[in-house]
Homo-oligomer: A and B are copies of this chain.
């Protein structure tokens, strides 16, 4: 065990679990690889001491390294690079902890709405939010719009594009966004409900800002972003845009390999809780335990915990478990996640009558 002379309160602290190789050798490799990428012995002494990461602790195969926050200067892109840049190419290394000093966190706005802001926006002072997606791909904009209207009337809080909807021949992005937004907003007024329509911004990089504004002008009330595809900082940019000021939901597309290999990658809660919050997600989707994916209850609980845990002055975010959720699991899930959860119900809503199922879901949550 090694403990540095000075404290680490003002440093970025990362815990790693090492499953391949000698813990000390790998720790020494990581602290150099994630900073100077240069033979340690050739670096000037002040760089060795100030710029290279510092081993704070080694206990069995658990290693803690702290970094000078200056190393991660330049925003979330460089934080991701320091946290999981080259070391992502190491087999048998898993990031199991991340602690950021308040002085570093002060540069991040985080979720614009978070739990309290989104509750106010959809007039849901208590209880879980209830969310769903319009699908299946292949349905035309009118069909998706009518579906969205039905769900809006039932009292859902968020109706998003299925994340696979992009710019397909069956429903082009612009027309789809406009038609669904119109349907949702009309149904809101008629029914006195509060659904936000959330189009997917899985669009080319040079279109994403314009598309977000077009979506808002068309009547969308929130935005779905795929940070694994578009980049975490593209999401942060949209979240920070005062002229948009819309809630943002993050989808885990393309990010799975970072979490599903138990001895390599980043712990679920750090990726889907902490990093998504830093990048401005008000809501973070992940596959629920017991659905058609592989996350365990403990992994899902870690995500929930890090969506809700203190993180500088950043707002708390909504964990949003989805993937194969059914009506008969509602009680179990609200017990597991508590009230501050955005439940994402998918295809199950369509087995039988959509309107009946949607109303039953909202009704069940009210009780």
Binding site for B on A (CB under 8 A): 29, 33-39, 42-44, 46-47, 50-51, 70-78, 80-82, 84-91, 133, 135-139, 162-164, 166-170, 173, 202-206, 209, 226, 228-234, 236-237, 252-261, 264-266, 287, 292-295, 346-348, 350-351
Contacts and interface: CB of A to CB of B under 8 A. Distances in A.
19 contacts: A36-B136, A36-B164, A37-B162, A38-B347, A42-B351, A73-B169, A77-B229, A77-B230, A80-B229, A81-B163, A81-B164, A81-B202, A84-B256, A85-B226, A86-B293, A88-B228, A89-B260, A90-B256, A204-B236
Contacts of A91: 260-261, 294
A88 B266 CA distance: 14
A261 B346 CA distance: 30
Nearest to A33: B292
> How many monomers of this protein are in the complex?
2
Contacts of A232: 229
B89 A229 contact: no
A1 to B, nearest CB: 25
Contact of A138 (B51, B72, B86, B234): B51
Contact of A253 (B38, B51, B85, B346): B85
A169 B78 CA distance: 13
A164 B257 contact: no
A206 B91 CA distance: 33
Contacts of A137: 35-38, 47, 51, 71
B87 A166 contact: no
B346 A38 contact: yes
A56 B74 CA distance: 47
Contact of A166 (B77, B168, B230, B287): B77
A245 B257 CA distance: 33
